[in-house]
Amino acid sequence: MKHLTEYRNIKLVKSLSEKIKALTTHDYRIMEICGGQTHTIMRYGIEEFLPESITLLHGPGCPVCVTATDKIDKAVQISLTENTILTSYGDMLRVPGSGQDLLSAKANGGNVMMVYSPLEAVELAKNNPDKNIVFFAVGFETTAPANAMSVIAAEKYNLDNFYLLSSMVLVPPAIEFLLSDPENEIQAFLAAGHVCTVMGYEEYIPIASKFEAPIVVTGFEPVDILNGILKAVELLESEKYEVANSYSRAVQKEGNEIAKGVINKVFKISDREWRGIGMILGSALDLNDDYKRFDAELKFKFKESAGKKDTVCIAGEILQGRKKPDECPAFGKECKPESPLGAPMVSSEGACSAYYKYHSKNQT
- Largest Cα separation within the chain, whole Å, is 66
Out of 66, 112, 314, 319, the only residue in the binding site for ligand SF4 (CB under 6 A) is 314
Minimum Å distance from CB 76 to ligand SF4? 20
**C-alpha pair distances (Å), 56 with each of 8, 53, 215:** 19, 10, 14
The answer for residues whose C-beta is within 8 angstroms of residue 221's C-beta and 6 or more apart is 4, 7, 8, 40
State which of residues 148, 179, 341, 354 lies at the interface with ligand SF4 (CB under 6 A): 341
Q: Which is nearer to ligand SF4, 50 or 346 (CB)?
A: 346
Q: Closer CB to ligand SF4, residue 240 or residue 361?
A: 361
Euclidean distance between CA atoms 221 and 196, whole angstroms? 16
Candidate residues 312, 339, 357, 361; the one interacting with ligand SF4 per rule CB under 6 A: 312
Q: Is 318 in the site for ligand SF4 (CB under 6 A)?
A: yes
Beta strand 132-139 pairing with 112-114: unpaired
**Per rule CB under 6 A, is residue 92 in the interface with ligand SF4?**
no
Looking at 90-98, 141-149, 262-270, 326-334, which segment touches ligand SF4 (CB under 6 A)? Answer: 326-334
Q: What is the dihedral of CA 35, 65, 212, 176, to 10 degrees?
A: 140
Nearer CB in complex with ligand SF4: 102/216: 102
Question: What is residue 133's DSSP assignment?
Answer: E
CA distance 49 to 46: 5
**Count residues contacting ligand SF4 (CB under 6 A)?**
16
- 308: contact with ligand SF4 by CB under 6 A: no
Instruction: Please give the radius of gyration of the chain, using alpha carbons only, rounded to the nearest integer.
Output: 21
CB of 178 to ligand SF4, least distance (A): 18
Nearer to ligand SF4, 74 or 324 (CB): 324
Helix or strand holding residue 158 (H, E): none
The helix (run of H) or strand (run of E) holding residue 324 is none
Query: Shortest approach of ligand SF4 to residue 42 CB, angstroms?
Result: 14
For residue 157, the SS3 value is coil
- How many angstroms separate the Cα of 86 from the Cα of each of 118, 124, 161, 210, 215? 11, 11, 12, 42, 38
Q: How far apart are CA 179 and CA 210, in angstroms?
A: 10
Contact pattern for ligand SF4 over residues 36 through 75, marking x by CB under 6 A: ----------------------------------------
- Determine if 112 is a binding residue for ligand SF4 (CB under 6 A): no
Q: With respect to ligand SF4, which residue has the nearer C-beta, 78 or 328?
A: 328
* Residue with nearest beta carbon to ligand SF4: 342
**Distances from the Cα of 289 to the Cαs of 136, 267, 285, 298, in angstroms?**
19, 9, 12, 12
Single out the residue of 330, 347, 349, 354 in contact with ligand SF4 (rule: CB under 6 A). 330
Does 331 interact with ligand SF4 (rule: CB under 6 A)? yes
> Closest CB to ligand SF4 among 215 and 313?
313
Q: Which stretch binds ligand SF4 (CB under 6 A): 4-12, 211-219, 229-237, 322-330?
A: 322-330
Least distance to ligand SF4, CB of residue 290, Å:
39
Closest contact distance (angstroms) between CB of 167 and ligand SF4 is: 18
| Given 138, 154, 325, 349, the residue binding ligand SF4 (CB under 6 A) | 325
Residue 20 touches ligand SF4, criterion: CB under 6 A: no
Q: In what order do the strands lie in the sheet with 243-245?
A: 54-61, 28-34, 188-192, 215-218, 243-245
Q: Is 149 in the site for ligand SF4 (CB under 6 A)?
A: no
First to last CA, the chain: 36
Binding site for ligand SF4 (CB under 6 A): 312-315, 318, 325, 328, 330-331, 335, 340-342, 344-345, 352
